[in-house]
Amino acid sequence: MDNHSRASIWPWLGLAALIVVLDQLTKVLILLNYQLGDSTYVTSFFNIVRVHNSGAAFSFLASAGGWQRWFFTGIGVVATVFIIWMLRAHRGQRLFSFALACILGGAIGNNLIDRPLHGYVVDFFDFHFAFLSGIFHGGHFPAFNIADAGITI
């Protein structure tokens, strides 16, 4: 038996589940302690905020009228099935499986939980740098969450 056939996808599904749990716990804390638009100064370049994003990354399609909620949920379902299939097919490739597990956790957290439950994704990490002022309003990179970080890793 080679590494491919002996390797299990369970550790990778566990990593995805960990990302989902951390993502949802932090979002519950934000929802319980912040009103929409509230902000807490943490450092000169970082705040905790409460933002609702009904669109995709960088608020793409946020003002599309509501259909995007179910569109992005559907994409999340398709992505989840595809990623699990890819994990099974490439279970012996650790780095690739790590990346897939992180993306899976993020897709589930944002698209399969937040969108159907709230109609939007809860974002709260707000990084801002003066050198970004020409690109983003006030130098604030679009707010994001743990699921987004998982997708990006």
Q: Please identify every residue annotated as catalytic.
A: 123, 148
Planar angle of CA 135, 31, 66, nearest 5 degrees: 65
Backbone angles phi, psi at 134, to 5 degrees: -75, -15
How many Cβ atoms are within 10 Å of 100's Cβ, its own excluded? 23
In 41-139, which residue ranges form alpha helices assigned H by DSSP? 67-89, 94-107, 115-118
What is the spatial distance between Cα 16 and Cα 34, in angstroms, rounded to a whole number? 27
Angstrom distances, CA of residue 29 to CA of 25, 35, 48, 150:
6, 11, 11, 19
